[in-house]
Structure 1
Amino acid sequence: MSCQMCSGGVLFINRLLRGACASARAHPQRRETRAVVQLPTRIWCARRTFSDGHQKTGNNGSSGGDEGDRSDPSSSSLNPDHRTPRRRLLPGGRRPLSPLERISRLLPPDSLSPDVAQLREQSQGDVEEDPGLKDDVSSVCGALGPVVKTSDSETQDHALTHDQGDGSVPATLPGERLLMFGELLIAEYTKRRAQYKNMFILKPGERLQSNWGCVFHNDMAGQPSGLFLKTTQGFNAFIRRASLEDYVLYMKRAPTISYPKDANAMLLDMDITEGDCVLEAGSGSGAMSLFLSRAVGSKGSVLSVEIREDHHKRAVLNYNHWRDSWRLRRGEEWPDNVQFYNADLLKASSLLAGRGFHSIALDMMSPQLVLPTVLPHLHPGAVCSVYLANITQVIDLLDGIRCSALPLLCERIIEVPYRNWLVTPAHHKDGSFCVSKPIADEVEEANGNSEEKEVLTTKEQPPFGSISYIARPHHVQMSHTAFLTKLRKCFR
């Protein structure tokens, strides 16, 4: 009975494939893959019937190719440009097969008619010769079916450059590198007041989970930074490399970090240039250490001292983590110019012996206690910038300088505010732009000389200056972070 069913299924599939051949010959401009996509759903049942007899099965009895496709997260590759499907590659450079290839592979070679065998060979040759056909085939492929492995060199060439036969722009510019595993990336999604932002490490086989769906890491590797990928729920997620500001805001912390806006103001106060030697008291989570490391460059050095061991370990880990990601991102080493020490600065006079500093950054509870120790090592006329959380600490600092008669001049005490604004085009409820009429048109309408004009659709782009914009402060604002006290060494 089963043999009769198999032979009947073979004849049925052969008839369908012959019909596809006739359709392809009658309409040569149509591709065979599109003609076969609309086959009845009975073919998929026939495929399940013959898979056990003609395909290698796994432990659970399912087809090995099917199991690999379903378990591979990159089989549901996302579209970065939202308009044209892009090539979907499985691990090892494999690509999914077209429906025509999957159906024909269910049958033994000796059972195929000459027309069907010729059509299968022709479709395979077209996929190998025409890159555009490969993209179309991949766009209609499902998650089922065996896979065809391609060489690693072909996969690498496809990841590095686009097809340049028609003079298209290369995928990378000089000095640019594509995303690779091990890098630190930022995923963002913003729609009205709903905002998602997350920093993660790109790893093979993993996925980025969120309330708006997930994005597979394999779809990001080999792509340029700054691309949009659709999540499994259809939302557009913006993927880019993490900047130093992003890293210090989203890295693991021990104590509270020095926020980038305050760190930049401190760098300006201290007037740090490449080649300077800087002392940092209070490593914390390593945020300020990274900003100082970038400011002094490969010719300079930073001495960072932390009294707490757990804070010291966290600062070292964060610093090394950023350096590892930078090496993958740029292909060069981040300057190893920060020396971390777990010590009490009041009792570490031997650590400062024979050293001179162009500037000093203090981020600690009672900086007035260490000023008599570090001040002799500060160059005359140089600046000591102090990061304090509340105004009471500022008062204690100035009172300690007065009582100790230290040669320091308090130039200023500032608080760095930050105010984010939202500036966006105004839209109607249907999603169309709110177009404002030019003054000349309003005068014509008032005089009764206006003519009927075409209604602007959502797909058309209105001319420059005709869109109404909405500008208002962001509903989430960063409040107080710290007081920055600028002290300059002087002679009295």
Structure 2
Amino acid sequence: MVRRGPLQAGEKVQFTDRKGKRITEQLVPGGTVQTERGVLFHDDIIGLPEGSVVTTLTSEGESKSAAEAYRRNPRKPWKTARKIGGWQYTVMRPRLQDFILSMPRGAQIMYPKDIAQVIEVCDIRQGMRVLESGGGSGAMSLHLLDAVGDGGELTTVEMRSEFARVCEANATVYFGARPQWWNLLVGDFDSVAAGLPANHFDRIFLDMLDPWNRLNEAYRVIAPGGVITCYVTTVTQLSRVAEAMRESGRWTEPEITETMERGWKAQGLAVRPNHEMIGHTGFLVTSRAMASGFDALHKRERPTKDVYSDIDDLTAEQQRDRLADLELRDISDRKLRKVLNDLDRQVASIPQDATVANRQEKPAV
């Protein structure tokens, strides 16, 4: 999805000050952004091009004087500004990863570094048919919808209806309307997948507690040669899903990766890594589906230890409790209601005539 031109009402924008602090807000006629250093008025921002610099005010009446001060000394208008007001922000449309990190959440989201790796190792491209299990707050769904485009198809299965609402609302706010190439289904993965056509999907992504128990149904709906990627957070889950793929004979030797992210600072010759980095957040287990009647070729190795896990012995209620322990779906009912109310307000602020099509600009042929 590409948005160009002046900033419009209903869009989300990101304000960044000279210290790198960011604020993400949805533009609403008559709305305001209350910062630590004054107020920004939405009406002054709607219609501006991206990359504009806006200055905080203490009241609406300061607009003219603030603009005049900026014209007199555009490099240092804050030197004579009061403690509140006179602080500058650059306004841009947020990148997708910025949107995701600032959007209301029901379930915990995947980190952008892991999402980017999923798109790469699962080889998700425009026009593909993708099946996703575990919609959560929609972080992965937004990237998949962008990757396959309106010529593709994304089917998302989410077990909890509340999280499905959060996922759908976040996608609606991001695209400006609900994507027409997206099927969002609520229910257990095996039950929902049983109603899907065989060999229909090019790619499958699983983000769930026990992906090894879903491999049979996943194999039925994926096309031969299709790629499956499972996101798990513990080594116990990692071991189970890898061994299940090998034992079934239906999947090629699994590739297992994790991604670390470390930022750097560069000021002249003072170049150094940041003091903090994003370390382990999860593992990606990727494999490909064999054609029916053919067994996968694996290197003959004997496991060095027992790979049994007691997760299969848990009841459905115990598995939901385990999800909270793994911090994959932990949220209180009160917070979830607040998230849904916030998203309902954002969706209601989108212009009624908005569609995904009229917000995408395609080059003339």
TM-score (structure 2 length as normaliser): 0.67
C-alpha spacing 1:180/1:349, structure 2 compared with 1 (3 Å): closer
* In structure 1, distance between residues paired with 2:4 and 2:36: 32
Gaps of 5+ in 1: 1-174, 328-333, 425-467
Could you tell me whether the CA contact under 8 Å between 1:228 and 1:236 is conserved in 2? yes
Q: 1:412 aligns with which of 255, 260, 270?
A: 255
**Which residue number corresponds to residue 158 of structure 2?**
306
* In structure 2, distance between residues paired with 1:352 and 1:277: 12
**Which residue number corresponds to residue 38 of structure 2?**
213
**Which residue number corresponds to residue 243 of structure 1?**
95
Q: Secondary structure at the match of 2:145?
A: helix
**Which residue number corresponds to residue 175 of structure 2?**
323
Superposition map of 1:62-461 within 5 A? 176-191=4-19, 195-232=20-57, 233-324=85-176, 335-354=179-198, 356-403=200-247, 405-424=248-267
Identity %: 31
* In structure 2, distance between residues paired with 1:257 and 1:275: 25
* In structure 1, distance between residues paired with 2:242 and 2:88: 52
Could you tell me whether the CA contact under 8 Å between 2:157 and 2:192 is conserved in 1? no
Deviation of the 1:359 alpha carbon: 0.8
Amino acid at match of 1:199: T
Deviation of the 1:347 alpha carbon: 2.0
C-alpha spacing 1:380/1:419, structure 2 compared with 1 (3 Å): same
Amino acid at match of 2:149: G
**Which residue number corresponds to residue 443 of structure 1?**
none
Q: Secondary structure at the match of 1:255?
A: coil
Deviation of the 1:264 alpha carbon: 1.7
Q: Which has the larger Rg?
A: 1
After superposition, the C-alpha distances for 1:288-329 in whole angstroms (9 at most, x for unaligned) are: 1111111111111011111111111111111111121xx7xx
Could you tell me whether the CA contact under 8 Å between 1:270 and 1:382 is conserved in 2? no
Could you tell me whether the CA contact under 8 Å between 1:346 and 1:373 is conserved in 2? yes
After superposition, the C-alpha distances for 1:106-125 in whole angstroms (9 at most, x for unaligned) are: xxxxxxxxxxxxxxxxxxxx
* In structure 1, distance between residues paired with 2:229 and 2:171: 22
Deviation of the 1:254 alpha carbon: 1.2
* In structure 1, distance between residues paired with 2:4 and 2:171: 24
C-alpha spacing 1:186/1:476, structure 2 compared with 1 (3 Å): farther
Could you tell me whether the CA contact under 8 Å between 2:245 and 2:254 is conserved in 1? no
Q: Secondary structure at the match of 1:408?
A: coil
After superposition, the C-alpha distances for 1:396-424 in whole angstroms (9 at most, x for unaligned) are: 21233345x24112342111111111212
C-alpha spacing 1:394/1:347, structure 2 compared with 1 (3 Å): same
Amino acid at match of 2:285: T
* 1:488 equivalenced with 2:301 (yes/no): no
Could you tell me whether the CA contact under 8 Å between 1:372 and 1:406 is conserved in 2? no
* In structure 2, distance between residues paired with 1:489 and 1:238: 48
Amino acid at match of 2:99: Y
Deviates more, 1:472-481 or 1:282-291: 472-481
Q: Secondary structure at the match of 1:359?
A: strand
How many residue pairs were aligned?
Answer: 263
Deviation of the 1:231 alpha carbon: 2.2
Deviation of the 1:379 alpha carbon: 1.6
Amino acid at match of 1:282: G
Q: Secondary structure at the match of 1:419?
A: strand
Q: After the TM superposition, which parts of structure 1 deviate over 6 Å for at least 4 consecutive aligned residues?
A: none
* In structure 2, distance between residues paired with 1:206 and 1:469: 44
Q: Secondary structure at the match of 1:348?
A: helix
* In structure 1, distance between residues paired with 2:184 and 2:11: 24
**Which residue number corresponds to residue 138 of structure 1?**
none
Could you tell me whether the CA contact under 8 Å between 1:387 and 1:484 is conserved in 2? yes
C-alpha spacing 1:406/1:307, structure 2 compared with 1 (3 Å): farther
* 1:478 equivalenced with 2:258 (yes/no): no
**Which residue number corresponds to residue 469 of structure 1?**
269
Q: Secondary structure at the match of 1:298?
A: coil
Could you tell me whether the CA contact under 8 Å between 2:246 and 2:252 is conserved in 1? no
Deviation of the 1:227 alpha carbon: 1.6
Amino acid at match of 2:155: L
Could you tell me whether the CA contact under 8 Å between 2:199 and 2:223 is conserved in 1? no
Deviation of the 1:354 alpha carbon: 4.3
More helix by share: 1
C-alpha spacing 1:237/1:285, structure 2 compared with 1 (3 Å): same
* In structure 2, distance between residues paired with 1:184 and 1:321: 8
* In structure 2, distance between residues paired with 1:391 and 1:279: 24
Deviation of the 1:363 alpha carbon: 0.6
RCO greater where, 1 or 2, for CA within 8 Å and sep 6 or more? Answer: 2
* In structure 2, distance between residues paired with 1:234 and 1:346: 57
Q: Secondary structure at the match of 1:204?
A: coil
* In structure 1, distance between residues paired with 2:86 and 2:273: 29
C-alpha spacing 1:349/1:186, structure 2 compared with 1 (3 Å): closer
After superposition, the C-alpha distances for 1:69-90 in whole angstroms (9 at most, x for unaligned) are: xxxxxxxxxxxxxxxxxxxxxx
Could you tell me whether the CA contact under 8 Å between 1:289 and 1:338 is conserved in 2? no
Could you tell me whether the CA contact under 8 Å between 1:297 and 1:335 is conserved in 2? no
Q: Secondary structure at the match of 1:401?
A: helix
